[in-house]
Structure 1
Amino acid sequence: MSAVYSVKEIYIYPIKSLAGISCKDAVAQEMGFENDRRWMLIDADNQMITQREHPIMSQFYPQIADGKLSLVFEEQQHEFSIDEYINAKIETTVWDDKTEVFEVSKNTSKWFSDCLGFECKLVKINNLGDRRHESSKLKETFNVSLADGYPYLLVGTESMDVLNDKLEQKITVKRFRPNIVINTENAHEEDNFTTFKIGEVEFKNIKICERCIMVNNDPEKGIVKKEPLKTLSKYRRVGNAVFFGTNIVSLNSGIISVGDEVVF
């Protein structure tokens, strides 16, 4: 590949299914970027809660500073230490993966319960290996955090540009909740990446990412629409699945930054 590919945007999503944070740089770890999807909400039955059932979750805006995670939802605010948790193990699942987590605090769980209008807990994954995800394609098992399947999602700029050319109302890449957005020359060429290096970190492409109804949730309003899944299904469908972006893993730890070149 002769073109210069570079990192345009970096995002982390500290709490699964809540809004993300745009970053200038991030620390890549085996489980994903530092503080990326290390927390999630579970219901009274200890089952995960996502935007798929509760689109309003996109209206919770997190920030991390001085060792604290702060949240804003409508006119409500809350914060807690990123190291805070109750030392009582809870067993839950992320899709088919058994996962061990810990409740952050009763106070934080009550805040979320009051905001959402139903009983829930905010929980945290603490240790490498507390959730393991098997790749059916590679027959490998990966240590992951609370992301749907893999630690990182990569999207190319040209993939977004081609999609927006087909849409009546333009959308941003935030619909797809990527971790890394790179400048590309051709739409969906990221699907075919193998291994590559960004900054200090080598990454490996695992598989293209199957998309669900969640990409139809307008993150600015928390309202589910028909797009972009309707349009994507016309040219990115394989069987019953629709794909956009690609799932990757890191092969070592290190820092990547906006502007870093992607080296193949």
Structure 2
Amino acid sequence: MHLSALYRFPLKSAMGESLPSLQLDDLGVAGDRRWMFADAETGRFMTQRTFPQMSQLQARWNLSGGLTLNAPGMPTLEVALPDPDQALRGVIIWRDTLRVPDAGDEAAAWGSAFMGRGCRLVHVPAERARFIEGNVNGDEKVGFADGFPLLLIGQASLDDLVARVGRPLEMLRFRPNLVVQGAEPYAEDTWKRIRIGGAEFTLAKRCSRCVITTIDPKTGERSADREPLTTLRSYRQGEDGILFGQNLINHGNGELRVGMPVEILQ
């Protein structure tokens, strides 16, 4: 088994980027979901669930930690990394509330024009991150990802789903960070710990899927037949919802590269 693809999502719910390699840090993939648009009035996080046009929003992370934003009909905007202790804004993501630095009025105006609703662009530095669901060891944190630092999907699992649906489906619909090739379909459901390079990972919880998987990442259009959720519901429904993929917690940092072997530890 080996890594066949790697993805990073710098801005929560915006387009992902395929990478030949990436760096791990204390919050998962360096630069992954460290930025987020929040409703200007309520502070609540904004995603494709309510704003499907976000599927067409491109956010590229740079080594200084800032963003380059592009979207249809919008000018390119360079956003600098804000001071981690200045211009703090309260935001809500699921059940969590936290105070994080705001990227300023220019970024807010750009986002508000694109979203069609007043919003603010915020960043989460490591020292202001949330504790993960369950907080197993007392020090495990996550940025603006829904609940865990990383998501893994087996390529064979997607291939099986595609065969059942009867039409091609892009891996990016499911927004994984790591794609593993060489295992049986849904083998990742049974793994508890894996090693890739110098890092070990705990497979913490199977990932429950939402309406975002029905949005075509190329066009931003929702499928009229609600695929692939309709098919997934027929055989992947669990107590926690419709399950596809595994949430991971990394133990240790370092580099991951496409082609690296994946070792099952437990």
TM-score by length of 1: 0.92
The residue that corresponds to 1:243 in the other structure is 243
Task: State which of 2, 8, 12 in structure 2 corresponds to 1:12.
Answer: 8
Aligned AA for 1:32? G
Q: Does residue 130 in structure 1 map to residue 129 in structure 2?
A: yes
Task: State which of 212, 215, 221 in structure 1 corresponds to 2:213.
Answer: 215
Aligned AA for 1:99? L
Mapped to 2, the partners of 1:55 and 1:177 lie a distance apart of 15
Q: Does residue 115 in structure 1 map to residue 111 in structure 2?
A: no
Deviation string 1:2-54 (CA, Å, 9 cap, x unpaired) is xxx10011111000000011111111112111110000000121111010001
Report matched runs for 1:24-35 at 5 Å: 24-35=20-31
Q: Which moved more, 1:205-214 or 1:91-100?
A: 91-100
Report matched runs for 1:30-179 at 5 Å: 30-44=26-40, 45-65=42-62, 67=64, 68-85=66-83, 87-135=86-134, 142-179=140-177
Secondary structure, aligned partner of 2:110: helix
Aligned AA for 2:19? C
Greater strand share, structure number: 1
Aligned AA for 1:197? R
Q: Does residue 21 in structure 1 map to residue 33 in structure 2?
A: no
Q: Which moved more, 1:237-246 or 1:49-58?
A: 237-246
1:133 shift after superposition = 2.5
Tell me, yes or no, if the aligned pair for 1:88 and 1:102 is still in contact at 8 Å.
yes
The residue that corresponds to 1:193 in the other structure is 191
Secondary structure, aligned partner of 2:109: helix
Mapped to 2, the partners of 1:219 and 1:230 lie a distance apart of 18
Tell me, yes or no, if the aligned pair for 2:82 and 2:101 is still in contact at 8 Å.
no
Q: Which moved more, 1:192-201 or 1:47-56?
A: 192-201
Tell me, yes or no, if the aligned pair for 2:82 and 2:103 is still in contact at 8 Å.
yes
Structure 2: segments with no counterpart, 5+ residues: none
The structure-2 alpha-carbon separation of the partners of 1:184 and 1:100, relative to structure 1 and needing over 3 Å to count, comes to farther
Report % sequence identity: 31
1:238 shift after superposition = 1.5
Mapped to 1, the partners of 2:138 and 2:207 lie a distance apart of 17
Secondary structure, aligned partner of 2:231: helix
The residue that corresponds to 1:181 in the other structure is 179
Structure 1: segments with no counterpart, 5+ residues: none
Secondary structure, aligned partner of 1:35: coil
Tell me, yes or no, if the aligned pair for 1:31 and 1:128 is still in contact at 8 Å.
no
1:166 shift after superposition = 0.8
Mapped to 1, the partners of 2:70 and 2:263 lie a distance apart of 38
1:66 shift after superposition = 5.8
The structure-2 alpha-carbon separation of the partners of 1:248 and 1:240, relative to structure 1 and needing over 3 Å to count, comes to closer
Mapped to 1, the partners of 2:241 and 2:79 lie a distance apart of 39
Mapped to 2, the partners of 1:39 and 1:115 lie a distance apart of 16
1:85 shift after superposition = 4.8
Q: Does residue 258 in structure 1 map to residue 255 in structure 2?
A: no
Tell me, yes or no, if the aligned pair for 2:87 and 2:101 is still in contact at 8 Å.
yes
What RMSD in Å do the two structures reach over aligned CA positions?
1.8
Aligned residues: 259
The structure-2 alpha-carbon separation of the partners of 1:139 and 1:259, relative to structure 1 and needing over 3 Å to count, comes to closer
TM-score by length of 2: 0.91
Q: Which moved more, 1:69-78 or 1:160-169?
A: 69-78
Mapped to 1, the partners of 2:97 and 2:88 lie a distance apart of 13
1:79 shift after superposition = 2.9
Aligned AA for 1:43? D
Secondary structure, aligned partner of 1:77: coil
